[in-house]
Structure 1
Amino acid sequence: MSHSSADLRRQINSATDLQAVVRTMKALAASSINQYEQAVQALADYAHSVELGLSVCLRNVASEHPLGLETLSGTTTPAGVVVFGSDQGLVGQFNDVVANHALQALADQSPRPLVWAVGERVHANLADAGLPPAGDFGVPGSVQAITLLVGQILAESEARISRGEISGLRLFYNQPTPATTYSPTSQHLLPLDAHWYQQLTQRHWPSDNLPEVLGADTSTLQALIREYLFVSLFRACAESLASENASRLSAMQRADTNIGERLEILSMSFHRERQDGIDEELFDVIAGFEALPKR
């Protein structure tokens, strides 16, 4: 066979190896999506229980803003913002979408918000767009690691709020959607405003027997609010991770299709080149035979 056939064989082997890697990444992404979606579903029941407890506690509090966390209109203190992205690539437009959504929502905010990025990739996107984050957090590699990240975010934000460096906390992340794989969204987490208070106090209790709050109303309310913040951050992170792996799965599916098509073209070229080589050798044999003197 000619040098071209050997080169085609090397390309086929390389494409085959790459396809095996892509299919492995597809399987890992599909498995990861499942665990994060299950975490979100399991968290929904707990979040519902926390909100029911808050609704009971808030009904017993006469003040419109029981913890003094009223909305700070016209404040000169910047808002705190957390943008969830990815540490790894091969996720398509995942980081671009959430970064652009955050940039558009924060474009008119004054003073400039204090931003934290979850993930090196989205950190680079925000910095390139002129909104460099004040810090970043690593993306959890499993459901169990989300708790550690949530604790870090809560500790950092509470410390900044207590020092008067930020006036609240807002989250930006991608959430899974059936139609488009994922879509960007945001959640106003702190301060707890009148709209949040009104929604919870109007929530219907699922039975005719209304519960009673044991102990001091304020301490119970504070404990439930801490759980509410934890659940909200955990859900945002889990949905972001599910969206990231859905985006990676979609990208790997496209890559697998493209590699398969490329392999078909290379295989056809290889077989055609090999057949041309065989035909050429046969023609040489026939021509040599015909050139022999006839007896």
Structure 2
Amino acid sequence: MGAQLRVYKQKISSAQTTKKITKAMELIAASRIQKAMARVRASSPFARAVTRAVSAVATYSNVDHPLTREPETVHRSAVVIFSSDRGLAGAFNSQIMREALELAELIRSEGSEPVFYLIGRKAVGYFQFRGIAAAAEWTGDTDTPHFSTAEEISAALLEAFNRGGANGGVDEIHLVYNRFVSMMTQSPETVRLLPLEITESDETDAAGAVYPLYEFEPDAETVLDAILPVYIQSRVFNALLQSSAAKQAATQKAMKSASDNADKLITDYTRLRNNARQAEITQQIAEIVGGADALSSSK
């Protein structure tokens, strides 16, 4: 009985230690998520302005640009996967892997070959464990992404896109990342980045405004050459920021659940320990009473 009590005390101590760790990680994630959300909000005006500029040029220029031209045959499609460098985030990484592999299967069913570009150690480890080759990898900058990382990713993607699928590059580029919806919801999202799909409607157009007539100097194609890389960089950087905010929210939710489970374990083990101790006391009392009866009957 004494050994059983020691076991329950050890389990309670272990659960309490675990709770301290998960509670601290929950508070750290809660503080980081506010900064991540602020960065997402700060990047939105620039991203909207660049999107409006690209839409205006593409809508009113009628230029046949490589970044807006639909390929006749899609040989290879890039799948850019945004994961995290750290775990303990619930289903954050598993759901993005599932989304990316489903997209890869869809690409194969359409007669194209998926080419994977991996961001985050979790995606790299997942693909290495399964022996799946990747064209490029970026790790170590998913918690607080820097714009220089987005520039590197964009440059690699644009270089592969400009080469074309027939020459070892890619004909399409898809981004797969977790979008921050709320503190409780992080939604995996797939966006086709290139060839660029321009829509003429946005928030301003919905309010009744229209684009003004533009004159391009030196010409519309040169303007697109200058704006589209900036547009790609802003989209990639926004995906990095969205993924970072979603990861912190997923970590906070996972650590909150772990802390609650630790509380439940502590309560259960405390009840079991009390029951064992009560049983031990009852047994000791019974032994004392039995011994006293034996002594009195022998006289």
TM-score norm. by structure 1 comes to 0.82
Alpha-carbon contact 2:59-2:200 (below 8 Å) kept: no
Q: Distance in 2 between matches of 1:263 and 1:237?
A: 38
Q: Distance in 2 between matches of 1:293 and 1:113?
A: 89
Counterpart of 1:258, as a letter, is: N
SS at match of 1:189: strand
2:52 — aligned with what? 52
Distance apart, 1:13 and its partner CA: 0.9
1:238 — aligned with what? 241
The answer for unaligned runs of 5 or more in structure 1 is none
Q: Classify 1:81/1:30 alpha carbon distance in 2 versus 1 (closer, same or farther; 3 Å).
A: same
Q: Distance in 1 between matches of 2:53 and 2:238?
A: 19
2:78 — aligned with what? 80
Q: Classify 1:73/1:96 alpha carbon distance in 2 versus 1 (closer, same or farther; 3 Å).
A: farther
Distance apart, 1:209 and its partner CA: 9.9
2:187 — aligned with what? 183
1:90 — aligned with what? 88
Is the counterpart of residue 65 in structure 1 residue 64 in structure 2?
yes
Trace 1:1-295 onto structure 2 (pairs within 5 A).
2-58=2-58, 61=61, 63-66=62-65, 69-76=68-75, 78-107=76-105, 108-126=109-127, 131-143=132-144, 145-164=145-164, 165-178=169-182, 181-192=185-196, 195-196=197-198, 198=200, 203=205, 210=212, 215-218=217-220, 219-284=222-287
Distance apart, 1:147 and its partner CA: 1.4
Q: Classify 1:135/1:249 alpha carbon distance in 2 versus 1 (closer, same or farther; 3 Å).
A: same
Distance apart, 1:267 and its partner CA: 0.8
Q: Distance in 2 between matches of 1:190 and 1:55?
A: 14
Q: Distance in 1 between matches of 2:58 and 2:142?
A: 37
Q: Distance in 2 between matches of 1:70 and 1:91?
A: 39
Distance apart, 1:60 and its partner CA: 5.2
Q: Classify 1:242/1:22 alpha carbon distance in 2 versus 1 (closer, same or farther; 3 Å).
A: same
Alpha-carbon contact 2:178-2:187 (below 8 Å) kept: yes
Alpha-carbon contact 1:123-1:132 (below 8 Å) kept: no
RMSD of aligned alpha carbons: 3.4
Distance apart, 1:134 and its partner CA: 2.6
The answer for unaligned runs of 5 or more in structure 2 is none
Q: Classify 1:205/1:46 alpha carbon distance in 2 versus 1 (closer, same or farther; 3 Å).
A: farther
SS at match of 1:91: coil
Q: Distance in 2 between matches of 1:153 and 1:14?
A: 43
Counterpart of 1:227, as a letter, is: V
Alpha-carbon contact 2:142-2:240 (below 8 Å) kept: no
- The total of aligned residue pairs comes to 289
TM-score norm. by structure 2 comes to 0.81
Distance apart, 1:82 and its partner CA: 0.4
Q: Distance in 2 between matches of 1:141 and 1:161?
A: 24
